[in-house]
Structure 1
Amino acid sequence: MNDKLNNWINWVLYDELIEGKINAPKHLLGNHDYGDGQVITCYKPHSASVSIKSPSGKVTYQMEKVSEEGFYGIYFPNKKFKGNKYRLITEYYDGTSVTSADCYSFDGLFTDYDAYLFAEGNNYDIYNKMGAHPMTIDGVKGTYFAVWAPDARRVSVVGNFNMWDGQLNPMQIHSASGVYELFIPDVLPGAIYKFQIMTRYGDILYKADPYGNYDQFRPDNANIVVDLNTYKWKDAKWIKSRSAIDRVERTKSPMSIYECHLGSWKKKYEDSDSGFYNYREFAEMLGDYLVEMGYTHVELIGIAEYPFDGSWGYQVTNYYAPTSRYGTPDDFMFFVDRMHAKGISVILDWVPAHFPRDAHGLGRFDGMALYENADPRKGEHPDWGTYIFDYGRNEVANFLTSNALFWIEKYHIDALRVDAVASMLYLDYGKQDGQWVANKNGGKENLEAIALLQKINTVVEGRNPGAYLIAEESTAWPGVTAPASMQGLGFLFKWNMGWMNDFLEYMKIDPYFKKFNHNKLTFSLSYTYAENYILVISHDEVVHLKCSMLGKMPGLEFDKFANLRTAYGFMMGHPGKKLLFMGQEFAQEREWSEARSLDWWLLDQPLHKGMQDYVKELNNIYKKYDAFYYNDNEVMGFEWIKVDDADSGIVTFVRRGKTTKNQIMMICNFVPVERKGYRVGVPCLTEYTEILNSDDERFGGLGRTNKDKKLIAEKAPCDRSDKSIVLDIAPLSAIILKYDYKK
């Protein structure tokens, strides 16, 4: 062996390389200055020989085989090659020859400033560095890989391009940040990879990339290299328009949300667990349906990659990858783009509250608790069998903050609905005594999670005006939708779980007993202005033996439909934005299952088709008259007229918009008793016009409406008013009247 080469080699690092333990391979491999000369080394196990080719390809230099394990080196007395301006020619015993750039001759891309921001939790663009990024460096095409694994002994990129051999591409650790990185030439989009991690105890783990952008179709779980920068967006006008809408204006805008699980909305092949439509097909089918039905928003559940269909997407293993069940990242971008073109805002369910224990996922990522807290009292949900993110660790907080931004900035998502916020806020959530640890003040509030939620909401709003977050929060935590600057959590909207539970309980009760439970119908108005609420009847209410919405309704078939139409009418009139889960709009009879399509064949039946037409009409009326939404969060926007006559089963109220024109009065009859010539109080002396009646024949009713009647108020005391009108009220019905206010 050349003396210069022998003297240069760090034999400790050499032993680590051969034993598969090296975490700084660039200190041994690649191109290195040595005095006036240079040393180039490489590691090519199972090879017969390696030579170096000049940039011109005219000159080659045979490298010395230092050991039979496949370590090669060569010393040049002068600096013959600059940086990566050479190629390695590897010959194998079977005659195969491979020419490639040397991955250890390229400078790292993860900078000290990146590391500083990451350690602070403020590297919001970290998704542009972490993960796998196809790129061209100095004319060489390849992929740059980076992963955070501070407790690992060694990390390698393995894939279908290197026979999944962890000894071939060990990554270079970046100083004290715990980030490993490596640019591998000739690895192009479509390549399949994982990270092979040797733990500090010598165990070998195969982990999916936490920042990976595309995954194999289940049950396979490796990542696929993909370029997220090739799609040509067409929604610039939409994004610009979105950016012009501030928090206050957003709360005064109509929101009728269709919650949707793509895989079971419609399936291409019912008898196959992989018979899904593509995102692009959904973009047209679902988009057209939403427009036809009058919805303004679609909320997608189960988009971030997950392994088990039965989790519905709430057990996420890859937070930066749209599920491959329905296509590629470009396909999903097309979906969002087309939704915007059709005037539909896209809300994505986001799950920062917990993650599953799947072996390839985030749990014990580098052999130690990394994304989760090591103390099971802080890091595990005993009821769910999942891990809790360590919100107090800056790099983990950065992972989540960056992920929220990723979906908004890379995929143009309009809003994120944050799942299970209550479980993040309370240290004792779902735990018994002894299973949790109090905060530094002795309380049960998760101070780190609170700070993180405030930060995410602030950063999202600051970087992407018009984008926002929605909280699924089921407790009475104060200020969920108050700005973080005012000590609130900073969400723009909160799901009104209290209204949902009370209202559904009321609607399930036999009409005879409703008078004893009248408060379940009216209580929500005592707190409706405490937050910016969304009224939700979500997927959680039509699974696990809870029955479908139609199944919850009392009575025989006709009454069930009438009850449900009344329920939807009341919901539309109640203050708050609106959300219905798919299938509820046409009275799905069976509970929802992720394994099958909705029962679209029901639309051949008049009652189901009538329900669909009714919801469509409700949506269109809701959007047309701003009284339904403009003052959702203002006291002036709602007033009870008839509320304290529980025996009658009838409530009436008014909704006011931004002008005195086209105000709304609603009459809801929750009992199967017809009221002909019934007098109800009204807010002013004017004419009232019936614009919707749930008993209309076209919706499946019997046609007992007031659409051909002039409803002119007179000075006759009734309910809480000295003015009233007389009209007919069908049993189990909702009536919407419009009027212009007059003093």
Structure 2
Amino acid sequence: MTKMPGNPKTDNHVTLLSMDDVYLFNEGTHFHLYDKLGAHLIQHGGTAGVHFALWAPNAQEVSVIGTFNDWKKGRHVLTPVRESGVWEGFVPDIGKGMLYKFHIVSRTGGYEVDKTDPFAIFNETPPKTASIVWDLDYEWRDSQWMANRRKHNALNAPISIYEMHLGSWKRVPEDGNRSLTYRELATTLPEYVKSMGFTHVQFLPIMDHPFFGSWGYQVTGYFAPTGNYGTPQEFMYLIDELHRYGIGVILDWVPSHFPTDGHGLSFFDGTHLYEHEDPRQGFHPDWNTCIFNYGRNEVRSFLISSALFWLEKYHVDGLRVDAVASMLYLDYSRKEGQWIANRYGGRENLDAIEFLRRLNEEIYRAYPDVQTVAEESTAWPMVSRPTYVGGLGFGLKWDMGWMHDTLEYFKQDTLFRKYHHNKLTFRTMYAFFENFVLPLSHDEVVYGKASLLGRMPGNEWQQFANLRLLFGYMFGQPAKKLLFMGGEFGQRREWGHDTALDWELTQYDQHRNIQRWVADLNHLYQRESALHARDLNSGGFEWIDCNDAESSVISFIRKDGSSDDLILIVCNFTPIPRRNYRLGVPCGGSWRELLNSDATQYGGSGWGNFGGVTAVPIPLHGRTHSVTLALPPLSSLFFKHDSR
């Protein structure tokens, strides 16, 4: 660290904020605040130092305290920037690595507090709470990825996401069972994700958070990656390596709420600056957290600046926006009398709606080659439709309905699945209303829900067969895909954030076979345009037979529309093998078997169709031809029409 200056002072004649900056910030349209507020290493008059700036409009006095002044308040006092509510000043002769906070004396109630910098780009690891003077200097090596990522993130591209929690993917037991660092992850994660055929990784929130057990969803540092795994540059290196392997990176981003920790954003300057003052609007009863005041101009600038920051400075390829439903509804998780209606008497949060629309407009204006993804759990219309037609403007939306229906169906004893057949078929009633992602996420393997494998009924063989069937059904469906780590090799226990995945299971055939099946599904999904080009278009999907509830069998066609490629998917959801099962198909000729989840290399019984079948001119299911198939027990089959 740089030594403490002998004569501490603050030069208040140095400014990074122009009158335009102030105007746009107060107007709510400054979306690059990270270049102006916070701590910035600069040169002034030939002297190196740090420019500090903080928004605290109700402050009577703001000073910077830190290792450079023995944490003495009042030694480096900032001055207000006109009527903006911003305070700033230049401290000479200090540099990178210095610890600091802002000491705020409020105008009201004698309130004084030390706050972490809301715009800090690096902070101490909890339970310590100081910010660290830092820079974001890094020499990126991903120019090829950045030049071509539009095709990887396009809605007609194969998008298969590996969702993961950095701290519990793998650990180092010989070193106190610590998590891997960003750099250690960079040596193993990209190659693994690539070998498994996933196209993207999605990290549970890496933004700074005070409690590791929150998984990152209670953010205190909206511009700082957590220091639990290393420095900002080391996180950049991880992203860089993923890009070099052709893997996109999506970050979980949480603008829906923030924690009440005293060093964070809550009651920031003696007022409810970032959150609503009235708890009926500003306090979240489910999570005991604060809710942003989306109607305040400066708060909108803050949040949209945060989103753009990760896209610009860290080259990320998308943002998954958490808990959108909680933002959209004023009565979300509230009883009668616990919420305030909007100006029209309704339950819709008009400020949040406008914020989300502006957020997506600004992201796609600046970065048209990325995607935003909404976790929205209700039937709110047009979440993933453009704002100019009345949508919220997201690129994609999680299909929570599919997830709930599918897992509910799979937990049923196979004998009774025929009574729940509509849970498999209902999705097609709405499948193309939004640009959907099918999520089997971290939320489905915690809190007593059991692992995906643990949810499957039957004996051990049937459990693994059911899991292969689940993944085959998922990859056959029209939509993008998401799978939480551990599911790809059949993790037996629920996920726990404080221990590594049970990688030792992969020494056993059943788990290696599941892993091989997921990899082959991913590679097929990428290779066959019929399985991804029209994921979000009804023209890419046709039912063959959705009504065979008695046999618990469904069959459908996937197609890309730009070629004659057709892929037939057939799923048998019972352990009963079905011989001579006849299905109508749209054309004659050979139908080659691409994948069979019951093949012996996946741990199945080896039933199959000897590599393919030939369609004959016997009409069925409204088609001119038909095929006779052998349907293995608890299986999914993929056939491709040979158009030669």
Q: What secondary structure, in the 3-state scheme, does the structure 2 residue paired with 1:643 have?
A: strand
Spell out, residue by residue over 1:106-139, the C-alpha distance to the aligned partner (whole angstroms, 9 max, x if none). 4332222211010011111111111111111121
Q: Is the 8 A contact 1:642 1:720 kept in 2?
A: no
Aligned partners of 2:516, 2:238: CA distance in 1, in Å? 26
- Are the structure 2 counterparts of residues 302 and 639 from structure 1 closer, same or farther at C-alpha, using a change threshold of 3 Å? same
Larger radius of gyration: 1
1:66 match: none
> Is 1:147 matched with 2:54?
yes
Residues paired across the two proteins, number: 641
Spell out, residue by residue over 1:678-726, the C-alpha distance to the aligned partner (whole angstroms, 9 max, x if none). 22222211210001000111111121122x3441101223344342111
Task: Give the letter for the 1:324 counterpart.
Answer: G
Aligned partners of 2:151, 2:23: CA distance in 1, in Å? 34
1:137 match: 44
Q: Is the 8 A contact 2:585 2:623 kept in 1?
A: yes
Spell out, residue by residue over 1:39-61, the C-alpha distance to the aligned partner (whole angstroms, 9 max, x if none). xxxxxxxxxxxxxxxxxxxxxxx
Q: Decide which moves more: 215-224 or 553-562.
A: 215-224
Q: What secondary structure, in the 3-state scheme, does the structure 2 residue paired with 1:288 have?
A: helix
| 4+ aligned runs moved over 6 Å, structure 1 | none
1:346 match: 249
Aligned partners of 1:293, 1:682: CA distance in 2, in Å? 32
Aligned residue among 266, 269, 274 for 2:170: 266
Task: Give the letter for the 1:130 counterpart.
Answer: L
Task: Mark the runs of 5 or more structure 2 residues left unpaired by the alignment.
Answer: none
Aligned residue among 31, 38, 50 for 1:124: 31
1:407 match: 310
Q: Is the 8 A contact 1:245 1:465 kept in 2?
A: no
Q: What secondary structure, in the 3-state scheme, does the structure 2 residue paired with 1:680 have?
A: strand
Aligned partners of 2:325, 2:13: CA distance in 1, in Å? 47
Aligned partners of 1:531, 1:642: CA distance in 2, in Å? 24
Report the Cα offset of residue 465 of structure 1.
2.0
After TM superposition, the structure 1 = structure 2 runs for residues 556-567 of structure 1, keeping only pairs within 5 Å, are 556-567=459-470
1:204 match: 112
After TM superposition, the structure 1 = structure 2 runs for residues 227-238 of structure 1, keeping only pairs within 5 Å, are 227-228=135-136, 230-238=137-145
> Is 1:729 matched with 2:617?
no
Report the Cα offset of residue 447 of structure 1.
0.7
Task: Give the letter for the 1:207 counterpart.
Answer: K
Q: Is the 8 A contact 1:100 1:185 kept in 2?
A: no
After TM superposition, the structure 1 = structure 2 runs for residues 193-592 of structure 1, keeping only pairs within 5 Å, are 193-200=100-107, 201-228=109-136, 230-242=137-149, 244=150, 250-269=154-173, 272=176, 275-592=178-495
Aligned partners of 2:118, 2:158: CA distance in 1, in Å? 37
Q: What secondary structure, in the 3-state scheme, does the structure 1 residue paired with 2:51 have?
A: strand
Q: Is the 8 A contact 2:12 2:79 kept in 1?
A: no
Report the Cα offset of residue 97 of structure 1.
11
> Is 1:615 matched with 2:504?
no
Spell out, residue by residue over 1:146-195, the C-alpha distance to the aligned partner (whole angstroms, 9 max, x if none). 11011112111111111111121111111111111111112211111111
Report the Cα offset of residue 421 of structure 1.
0.3
Task: Give the letter for the 2:21 counterpart.
Answer: D
- Are the structure 2 counterparts of residues 730 and 236 from structure 1 closer, same or farther at C-alpha, using a change threshold of 3 Å? same
Task: Give the letter for the 1:152 counterpart.
Answer: A
Q: What secondary structure, in the 3-state scheme, does the structure 1 residue paired with 2:542 have?
A: strand
Report the Cα offset of residue 659 of structure 1.
3.3
Spell out, residue by residue over 1:64-113, the C-alpha distance to the aligned partner (whole angstroms, 9 max, x if none). xxxxxxxxxxxxxxxxxxxxxxxxxxxxxxxx995458532643322222
Aligned partners of 2:317, 2:180: CA distance in 1, in Å? 23
Aligned partners of 1:104, 1:399: CA distance in 2, in Å? 26
Q: What secondary structure, in the 3-state scheme, does the structure 1 residue paired with 2:68 have?
A: coil
Aligned partners of 1:465, 1:138: CA distance in 2, in Å? 40
Q: What secondary structure, in the 3-state scheme, does the structure 1 residue paired with 2:443 have?
A: helix
Spell out, residue by residue over 1:486-510, the C-alpha distance to the aligned partner (whole angstroms, 9 max, x if none). 1110000000000000011001110
Task: Mark the runs of 5 or more structure 1 residues left unpaired by the alignment.
Answer: 1-95
Q: Is the 8 A contact 1:125 1:402 kept in 2?
A: yes
- Are the structure 2 counterparts of residues 100 and 342 from structure 1 closer, same or farther at C-alpha, using a change threshold of 3 Å? farther
Aligned partners of 2:483, 2:581: CA distance in 1, in Å? 32
Q: What secondary structure, in the 3-state scheme, does the structure 2 residue paired with 1:647 have?
A: coil
Q: What secondary structure, in the 3-state scheme, does the structure 2 residue paired with 1:315 have?
A: coil
Q: What secondary structure, in the 3-state scheme, does the structure 1 residue paired with 2:519 have?
A: helix
Aligned partners of 1:734, 1:259: CA distance in 2, in Å? 24
Aligned-residue RMSD, C-alpha: 1.6
Spell out, residue by residue over 1:636-684, the C-alpha distance to the aligned partner (whole angstroms, 9 max, x if none). 2001111101010111100001333332100100001011232222221
> Structure 1 vs Structure 2: percent identity of aligned residues?
48
- Are the structure 2 counterparts of residues 432 and 105 from structure 1 closer, same or farther at C-alpha, using a change threshold of 3 Å? closer
1:714 match: 616
Spell out, residue by residue over 1:208-253, the C-alpha distance to the aligned partner (whole angstroms, 9 max, x if none). 111101011121111111111x2011122322223x559xx81111
Q: Is the 8 A contact 2:592 2:642 kept in 1?
A: no
Task: Give the letter for the 1:237 counterpart.
Answer: Q
Spell out, residue by residue over 1:382-423, the C-alpha distance to the aligned partner (whole angstroms, 9 max, x if none). 221111000000000000010000000011111000000001
Aligned residue among 664, 668, 692 for 2:571: 668
- Are the structure 2 counterparts of residues 365 and 710 from structure 1 closer, same or farther at C-alpha, using a change threshold of 3 Å? closer
Normalising by the residue count of structure 1, what TM-score does the alignment of the two structures yield? 0.84
Q: What secondary structure, in the 3-state scheme, does the structure 1 residue paired with 2:550 have?
A: helix
Aligned residue among 553, 573, 576 for 1:650: 553
Report the Cα offset of residue 545 of structure 1.
0.2
Aligned residue among 169, 183, 186 for 2:90: 183
Report the Cα offset of residue 199 of structure 1.
1.8
Task: Give the letter for the 1:542 counterpart.
Answer: V
Q: What secondary structure, in the 3-state scheme, does the structure 1 residue paired with 2:434 have?
A: coil
